[in-house]
């Protein structure tokens, strides 16, 4: 997928680019308003990551610009402003999602993947991974054609892993993804383990390879062995 990252903080930009690059993804970036509006006007992207506080202009104006250009690029707002007004204004102006800083890169990736899947939704919204096929809209998982019955949480977890293939995903990020970051969770994420264990067991039983690995006790990695 083709992604434009509009972010003025170089360190953050670099991390995002590093996380997204690879697996056939093309990442471009813009760190000020002028460059961003130029790129938006000239090229089309699958998803645009938009920081609201930009040097040279207000990020929300870029959304208006996109609308005027009648572009259908997906937009994910990433902002340090944890304000309901900004969120509603952004979504009103046609943004697809809103993520508050600080965020986990895995969460960012999952959200971007979801947006891109929705945008490129042409008949089937299916993620293929080796012998696995995950139908996101029907919430169905098949391994080598065998249907695997997963709970809602296990399914979400699998989609999350698939969006972050070959990346280490922390338990913290997983918990926030599944239960929302508003939930004042304890810092002990052992209960995640149960879900991961069950998901892995079900996939293995259906004949999938063991793609899940625990990493340093911090998190998990799902990907090619």
Partner 1 sequence: MKLANRYNRVNILTSIVVFAITGLIYYVVIHFILTEKLDRDLVVEENEIRQYVSTYHKLPLPASYLDQKIAYKNLSGHVPEREFLYTRYYNPKERENEPGRSLITVVHLNGKAVEVTITKSRVESEDLVRIILLITIGITLILLLSLLLINRFVLNRLWRPFYAILNGMKSFEVARMDAIAHEDTRIDEFNELNQSVNAMAERVRRDYKELKSFTDNASHEMMTPLAVINSKLDSLLQTESFTAQQGELLADVYHATGRLSRLHQSLLLLAKIENNLIPDFQEIDLKEMVEVKGRQFQELFEKDGLSLTADLQVVEIKMSRYLADILLNNLFSNAVRHNITGGYIRVELSSVALIMANSGKPGNIQSKIFDRFSKSADSEGMGLGLAITKQICNLYGFRISYQAENGEHVFKVHFAG
Does residue 89 touch partner 1 according to CB under 8 A? Answer: no
Closer to partner 1 by CB, 133 or 185: give it.
Answer: 185
With 0-12 / 13-18 / 19 or more C-beta atoms within 10 angstroms meaning exposed / middle / buried, residue 61 is: middle
**Nearest-CA neighbor of 61 among 89, 80, 100?**
89
**Nearest-CA neighbor of 212 among 149, 155, 169?**
169
Q: How many CA atoms lie within 13 A of 182 on its CB side?
A: 2
Closer to partner 1 by CB, 105 or 127: give it.
Answer: 105
- Least separation in angstroms between residue 80's CB and partner 1 is 4
Closer to partner 1 by CB, 122 or 188: give it.
Answer: 188
**Nearest-angstrom CA–CA distance, 131 and 66:** 39
Does residue 23 touch partner 1 according to CB under 8 A? Answer: no
Does residue 217 touch partner 1 according to CB under 8 A? Answer: yes
Question: What are the beta bridge partners of residue 141?
Answer: 134, 148
Is the sign of the CA dihedral 180, 130, 142, 200 positive or negative? negative
How many residues can be counted in the chain? 225
Give how many residues touch partner 1 by CB under 8 A.
43
- Least separation in angstroms between residue 116's CB and partner 1 is 20
Q: Which range touches partner 1 (CB under 8 A), out of 68-76, 95-103, 139-147, 204-212? A: 95-103
Distance of CA 25 to the CA centre of its chain: 13
Does residue 201 touch partner 1 according to CB under 8 A? Answer: no
Contact with partner 1 (CB under 8 A) among 3, 5, 6, 16? 16
Does residue 32 touch partner 1 according to CB under 8 A? Answer: no
Residues 6+ apart with CB under 8 A from 130: 208, 209, 224
Q: Could you give the string, one character per residue 43-72, with x where binding to partner 1 holds by CB under 8 A and - elsewhere?
A: ----------x-------------------
Contact with partner 1 (CB under 8 A) among 29, 167, 200, 202? 167
- Least separation in angstroms between residue 3's CB and partner 1 is 15
**Nearest-CA neighbor of 186 among 173, 172, 174, 198?**
172
Residues making contact with partner 1 (CB under 8 A): 9, 11-12, 15-16, 18-19, 53, 80-82, 84-85, 101-106, 153, 167-168, 170, 172-173, 179, 181-188, 190-191, 194-195, 215-219
């Amino acid at each position: 997928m083709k992604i434009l990252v509009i972010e003025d903080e170089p360190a953050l930009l670099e991390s995002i680019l590093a996380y997204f690059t690879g697996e056939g993804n093309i990442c471009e970036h813009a760190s000020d308003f002028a460059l961003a509006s130029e790129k938006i006007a000239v090229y089309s992207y699958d998803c645009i990551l938009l920081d609201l506080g930009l040097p040279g202009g207000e990020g929300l104006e870029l959304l208006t610009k996109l609308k005027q250009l009648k572009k259908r690029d997906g937009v994910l707002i990433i902002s340090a402003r944890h304000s309901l007004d900004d969120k509603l204004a952004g979504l009103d102006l046609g943004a697809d999602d809103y993520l508050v800083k600080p965020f986990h890169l895995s969460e960012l990736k999952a959200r971007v993947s979801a947006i891109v899947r929705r945008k490129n939704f042409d008949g089937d919204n299916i993620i293929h991974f080796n012998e696995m096929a995950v139908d996101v809209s029907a919430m169905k998982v098949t391994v080598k054609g065998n249907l695997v019955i997963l709970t809602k949480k296990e399914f979400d977890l699998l989609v999350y892993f698939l969006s972050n293939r070959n990346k280490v995903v922390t338990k913290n990020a997983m918990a926030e993804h599944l239960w929302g970051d508003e939930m004042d969770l304890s810092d002990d994420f052992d209960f995640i383990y149960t879900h991961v264990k069950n998901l892995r067991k079900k996939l293995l039983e259906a004949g999938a390879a063991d793609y899940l690995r625990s990493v340093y006790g911090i998190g998990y990695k799902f990907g090619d062995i």
